[in-house]
Structure 1
Amino acid sequence: MNILLKSAKIVCPENKALHLKKRDILIKKGVIEKIAASIEAPSGVKTIERKDLHVSLGWFDSSVSFGEPGFEERETIENGLGVATSSGFTDIILNPNTNPLPDSSSNIVFLKERANGNSTNLHPLGSLTVNSEGKDLAELYDMKSAGAVAFYDFKKQISNPNLLKIALLYTQNFDGLVFSYPQDGQIKGKGIVHEGDVSTMLGLKGIPAMAEELQIARDLFILEYTGGKLHIPTISTANSVKLIGNAKKNGLDVTCSVAVHNLIFTDESLKEFDSNYKVMPPLRTKSDCKALIKGLKDGVIDFVTSDHTPIDIEDKRVEFDNAVSGTIGLESSFGSLNLLFDIEETIALLTKGRERFGVKTASFAEGEKACLTLFETSSEDIFSMANIHSTSKNSLFLGSTLKGQVYGVINNNQIII
């Protein structure tokens, strides 16, 4: 793969000499050979010129679900990675919510082998407990050796506090990272949306913010006792931000993430009973959205994620109470973040996080492997079915105006435009 990017505006705060400069970039055999103000295209090199062409390090998403194995009708690994590529992502963390669940080294090996040869790299999570039943720890060390980057019972609380204690102690032996989903199942009960005025008006069972915050407070107390590395995925309330911020000030090794849709939509969106808005954690209030955005800007919240969760139509086009929670989000991540933040902040959010999972971050420099995302920043368009490449179409961004467009990625000696 030999290509020349012409007049590309580089967005890379880590490289101050190149950041926000327009440069030609020559890439040969997957390596950045030259970056200069002007480069003549050598023989046999394809030239790429696009309107408002921007380039950054490849994007990263810390919470993506597909379906294979077991739920291929929702999304196969091959198609899912294609969606990630067309959405600008060169690395994704794959959630463990398949059938069978990846609770052994052989499952991890299967996932990695299925992803070989793609332009987007797949980094699997292993289940924290056997069959994600919350009883016995799975083969954590063996899975780490096989390529699992962390351990998570996807969207299931760790109800036994002693289990979390043991997991945090045990994983310190091999620098493992433990996920704990922030929701107390007993307080949640049969709730399906945020508990508040809207849930009362609609007659829907609510989930109080306290269900999330009590779980986080408990987990942070355990982390303080044990040490180790804890990640709290997809927080959704203002008090959750405060709790984690205080824990970081006290020196605890904790990170957290937030889903893009929890920054934008509130429970007011539920009034039409559209099941695409049924997500977990639930959409909260406007004040929660503001606190989450501030938490990202302040660095309390470490990562923003699409929380991409394909759900087939049979499980979504039913009564709201019976619909399965989840929304796809890879295709809409950039365009929605670009509305909330300036382009430098947006790209910083989309490129950070790899180190937490032991994934190497590429460098934007001559002689380095090309791991790049190409995009433009200014066009506005209404997100429609035509923008969705996922097998499942359950997006709560349908009908929303998004800003910017992904042109493609360059990674693993491949270019996808």
Structure 2
Amino acid sequence: MKTLVRQAKIIDPNSRRNGELADILFENNQIVSIGQDLTDDSAEIIEGEDLRISPGWVDIHAQFNDPGYEFKEDLKSGAAAASKGGFCTVAVSPETLPVIDSKADVEYINKKSLGLGVKIVPIGAATPKLKGVDFTEMFDMYSSGATCFSNGQKSFSDAELTRRILLYAKQFGGKVMEVANDESLSNGAMIHEGEVSTKLGLKGVPSLAEELIVFRDIAVAQYCDAPIHFHKISTEKSVELIRNAKEQGIKVSCDVALSNLIWTEKELLSFDTNFKVTPPLRTEDDRSALITSLNDGTIDFLVTGHMPQNIEEKECEFEYAGYGQSIIEYAYPLYLKYLSNSLSEEKWVEKIALSPAKFIGIEPTTIEENETGSFTIFTHANSTSSNHKNMVSRSKNFPEIQGEFQGKIMQIITE
């Protein structure tokens, strides 16, 4: 199948053609030619105002809930939502039923996701059933295609378990992802501890709950001389700790959830359960520090943190509501609305495509002739509507559900 993209601006910091406006002819997912006034009568034409093309976007964290919770999302609906959002590759959380904690579980995801148009990569559970007691046969899962391992939304229970997991993964190059949250400080809390939690009379998650685990695990990683990745960092102090660790040569990396870059705790004054997320929305100072750290390289990339919840989990009292947002299909319009003045298009592509691809072990695509890979075609000229009818995700827990956004994904090109 041939595809001809007409007059698209190339956004690819790794390409010598970065910034060029050109026609690009594809055969399947290989670039055949880049130039001006290209023609091919057999090609599907993609054209429009202010087109852009970049290496395919990669999301390192989404919950597609298969197996076990397919009523919230399944691999097919999750892949469709990812494609609509411009994502060519998605790493899916092990928080399923049963948990993805064995070679057979990884192979189940691999087999079931074939032919969905989006590459789905399972994240393996680092501890059996995500209980945090011991560690799994990570090498077996790695051999079947799981390159990253986590304990879901929970931190590793103690420094000794963290040490053992890091040393084991170090032997074969597995990536260990840690969600930093000391449950002794955050147990029973629902939102950030601060001005808003006081006004609403809700128990808050102190920033210290995240920062203590970041501090602990940086020390463990340094002791083991092993890499660790902090997943969905949310506080100013956490990025300071990580920045200092990087300057010392400690093998640490981190990412940030899109929601923590664009919203703050003040959204919760309305008790809107769609803003109940983990980690919680923090202060404006935290949000500003996260954006600065994304730009200066302290934060390596961003994730959508896509976490679908069915209507029963969200249309209820705030205390009982589930955490998360169904957000993957609106990532680019949200970027344009909230972040385009503070994060350039090149930086967006770096943080949503190039850096996460490298982290997960995928060779980033370069937009050059004869290159084969995955590509995202998008525009800020067209608009995207969000409502219950046109949302592709099975779950509709998106906080701006009745919105009209600038920006649209035109198509993804994948294997």
TM-score category (smaller protein): over 0.9
Cα pair 2:6 2:24 within 8 Å, conserved: yes
Residue 356 of structure 1 aligns with an amino acid whose one-letter code is F
Q: Which residue of 2 aligns with 1:175?
A: 173
- What SS does the corresponding residue of 1:159 show, helix, strand or coil? coil
Q: Please report how far the alpha carbon of residue 379 of structure 1 lies from its aligned counterpart in structure 2 after TM superposition.
A: 4.4
Letter in 2 for 1:4: L
The one-character-per-residue Cα deviations of 1:64-91 (angstroms, maximum 9, x if unpaired) are 1111100010011011111111110011
* Corresponding residue number in structure 2 for 1:120: 118
Q: Which amino acid aligns with 1:391?
A: R
1:277 paired residue number: 275
* Residue 182 to residue 293, structure 1, CA distance change in 2 (3 Å): same
Corresponding residue number in structure 2 for 1:102: 100
Distance between the aligned counterparts of 1:399 and 1:298, measured in 2?
Answer: 34
- 1:63-119 C-alpha deviation (Å, 9 max, x unpaired): 111111000100110111111111100111111110000110000000011111222
Q: CA deviation at 1:395?
A: 1.1
Between stretches 295-304 and 7-16, larger displacement belongs to 7-16
CA contact (8 A) 2:83 2:329 kept: no
Structure 2 Cα separation of the partners of residues 261 and 112 of structure 1: 28
**CA drift at 1:401:** 5.9
Task: Say whether 1:301 aligns with 2:299.
Answer: yes
Provide the rounded CA distance (Å) in 1 between the counterparts of 2:113 and 2:392.
18
User: Which residue among 152, 155, 159 is the counterpart of 2:150?
Assistant: 152
For residue 367 of structure 2, what is the aligned residue in structure 1?
364
Partner of residue 286 from structure 2, selected from 285, 288, 298: 288
**CA distance in structure 2 between the partners assigned to 1:246 and 1:399 by the alignment:** 42
Aligned amino acid, residue 40 of structure 1: T
Q: Across the two proteins, how many residue pairs are aligned to each other?
A: 410
**Contact persistence 2:12–2:366 (CA under 8 A):** no
**Aligned equivalent of 1:408, options 404, 408, 411:** 411
Alpha-carbon distance in structure 2 between the residues aligned to 1:312 and 1:44 = 43
Shift of 1:274: 1.1
Distance 1:26 1:380, change over 3 A: closer
Question: How far apart, in 2, do the equivalents of 1:381 and 1:110 lie?
Answer: 34
Superposition map of 1:247-396 within 5 A? 247-339=245-337, 340=339, 341-352=343-354, 353-379=356-382, 383-396=386-399
Distance 1:400 1:217, change over 3 A: farther
Aligned counterparts of 2:268 and 2:328: Cα–Cα separation in 1: 22
CA distance in 2, matches of 1:381, 1:308: 18
Query: Aligned partners of 1:370 and 1:140: how far apart in 2?
Result: 28
Aligned match of 2:23: 24
Identity among equivalent pairs (%): 34
Structure 2 letter corresponding to 1:349: K
Distance 2:81 2:192 in 1: 30
Question: What is the distance in 2 between the residues matched to 1:29 and 1:55?
Answer: 16
Partner of 1:174, secondary structure, is: coil
User: What SS class does the counterpart of residue 385 from structure 1 fall into?
Assistant: coil
Query: Match for 1:361: what amino acid?
Result: P
Question: Residues of 1 paired with 2:97 and 2:349: CA distance?
Answer: 34
Superposed CA deviations along residues 5-50 of structure 1, whole A, max 9, x for unmatched, are: 111211112112x112111111123311111122122x42222222
Match in the other structure for 1:415: none
3-state DSSP of counterpart to 2:229: strand
Deviation at residue 399 of structure 1 after TM alignment: 4.8
> What's the offset of the Cα at 1:384?
3.5
Shift of 1:400: 5.5
Alignment partners' CA distance in 1, 2:404 and 2:291: 19
Give ranges in structure 2 of 5+ residues lacking alignment.
none
Residue 135 and residue 290 in structure 1: after superposition, are their counterparts in 2 closer, same or farther (change >3 A)? same
SS across alignment from 1:151:
strand
Comparing 335-344 and 253-262, the one that deviates more: 335-344
Distance 1:159 1:370, change over 3 A: closer
CA distance in 1, matches of 2:281, 2:107: 35
d(CA) in 1 for partners of 2:361 and 2:348? 22
Contact 1:87 1:408 in 2 (8 A): no
* Partner Cα separation in structure 2 for residue 403 and residue 88 of structure 1: 15
Output one character per residue of 1:277-302: Cα deviation in whole Å (capped at 9) or x when no partner: 11010011111100000010111001
**In 2, distance between residues paired with 1:155 and 1:375?**
32
Deviation at 1:161, TM superposition (A): 1.2
Q: Which range is displaced more, 272-281 or 393-402?
A: 393-402
Deviations 1:246-274 (A, max 9, x none): 01111111111111111111111111111
* Secondary structure at 2:302 match in 1: strand
Other-structure match for 1:205: 203
Provide the C-alpha distance between the structure 2 equivalents of 1:161 and 1:399, rounded to a whole number of angstroms.
Answer: 45
For 2:396 and 2:312, the matched residues in 1 are separated by 11
- For 1:376, give the aligned amino acid: T
Most deviating of 248-257 and 381-390: 381-390
- Give the superposition deviation at 1:383: 4.0
Between the aligned partners of 2:283 and 2:72, the Cα distance in structure 1 is 30
8 Å Cα contact 2:101-2:124 kept in structure 1: yes
Distance, in Å, in 2 between the alignment partners of 1:385 and 1:23 is: 37
Structure 1: runs of 5+ lacking an equivalent: 413-417
Give the deviation of 1:130 after TM superposition: 0.6
Counterpart position of 2:45: 47
Match of 2:32 in 1: 33
TM-score of the aligned structures, taking structure 1 as reference length: 0.95
In 1, Cα distance between the equivalents of 2:314 and 2:33? 49
Instruction: For residue 388 of structure 1, report the CA deviation from its aligned partner.
Output: 2.0
